[in-house]
Amino acid sequence: MERRQFIRTAGLSLGLLGLLQNNAYSEFFKRAYNLRLLRRNVGIFTEQGGTIAWLVNKEGIVVVDSQFPEPAGHLISELKKQSEKPFKCLINTHHHGDHTSGNIAFKGLVSEVIAHDNALKNLKRVAEEQKTEDKMLFPSKTFKDDMDLRVGDENIKLYYFGPGHTNGDALIHFTEANIIHVGDLVFNRRFPFIDRPGGASIRSWIKVLDRTLKTFDKDALYVFGHALNPEKVTGDADDLKAFQNYLSRLLVHVESEIKAGKSLEEILKTKVIPGAIQWQGAGIERSLTAAYEELSADVSKP
């Protein structure tokens, strides 16, 4: 299929099929799937779960994140229509199910699945706890600090800047297109999930975003895992700064409430984070609880 026809026909309506089950992001609806070209040969796919990025060029196909098996199948079908080249690899930004449950759809298609060291550890831990090992295609290659891949005329650089949303969040930079998939290191204008059992740290997350802003230039285009407006899963440095401000204001607010002698139950009555009123949707309780636990743990340290 020619590229222009592909772009015109890729956004096919599948209808609203209901809420996700047994998932940390239970408020997410399954919606019509859509593929969109961003720059050069790099685009995004949205349907159910975390945003997927993809690359198609003369050398092959690369996919970042996989959502769930059904949407992963939709993505694979559409990319096969665009190119007969092989799927070179699948990259996971982190271990959460709405980014990795679709890995199994790539079994036999990709020669390797790549993730950060800690993402693989978390993925195996969760699979063992849920007894879902047989439903998962685990990463076959991991990295600690960074990794370079070359696929045709596109160089792909993987980075790890420290704990944030989890302790295994990778940033994937398509250097020629200057597009960075930051996974769930950014929830654009929606309350984030902060996975403390998975190694999350709000204080470190703020530093990770600061390092991200210093690493990439002003023309960089970012792909976010989630957004309040489903159409705004891409953005620029200002969006990263705004989310960084949300995290900072969250800590300031909860710390001030703790110092005022308020209990967690009282703190959870907060409806909006002062100084970050753009952050909305469901899930503010998760942010408040995570901040309370992190700050309380800091106080309890000797």
CATH number at residue 189: 3.60.15.10
pLDDT tens digits for the chain (302 residues)?
333 333 333 332 222 222 233 344 433 556 789 999 999 999 999 999 999 999 999 999 999 999 999 999 999 999 999 999 999 999 999 999 999 999 999 999 999 999 999 999 999 999 999 999 999 999 999 999 999 999 999 999 999 999 999 999 999 999 999 999 999 999 999 999 999 999 999 999 999 999 999 999 999 999 999 999 999 999 999 999 999 999 999 999 999 999 999 999 999 999 999 999 999 999 999 999 999 999 998 655 54
Crossing angle of the two packed helices 284-300 and 237-259, in degrees rounded to 10 = 60
Residue pair 175/155 in contact by the 8 Å Cβ criterion: yes
Which residues constitute the domain of residue 113?
A: 3-238
Please tell me the total count of domains within the chain: 1
Instruction: Answer yes or no: are the C-beta atoms of 268 and 254 closer than 8 Å.
Output: no
- Is 213 inside any structural domain? yes
Residue 284 within any structural domain of the chain: no
What is d(CA 301, CA 121) in angstroms, rounded to the nearest whole number? 26
- pTM over 0.85? The answer is yes
CA distance 162 to 3: 38
Tell me if 246 is assigned to some domain.
no
One-letter amino acid of 100: T
Q: In this structure, are strands 171-174 and 234-235 parallel, antiparallel, or unpaired?
A: unpaired
What whole-number distance in Å separates Cα of residue 140 and Cα of residue 113? 5
Encoded tokens for 29? 């609806």
For residue 118, what are the CA distances in angstroms to 16, 114, 167, 247, 249? 34, 12, 6, 23, 28
286 belongs to a structural domain: no
Residue 255 lies in a domain: no
Q: What is the DSSP string of 136-182?
A: ----SEEESSEEEEEETTEEEEEE----SSSS---EEEETTTTEEE-
For residue 55, give Cα distances in angstroms to 26, 92, 146, 159, 236.
Answer: 29, 14, 19, 18, 20
Predicted local confidence at residue 138, as pLDDT: 97
CA 200/CA 283 separation, integer angstroms = 16
Residue 157 lies in a domain: yes
Whether residue 245 lies inside any domain: the answer is no
Is 61 inside a domain boundary?
A: yes
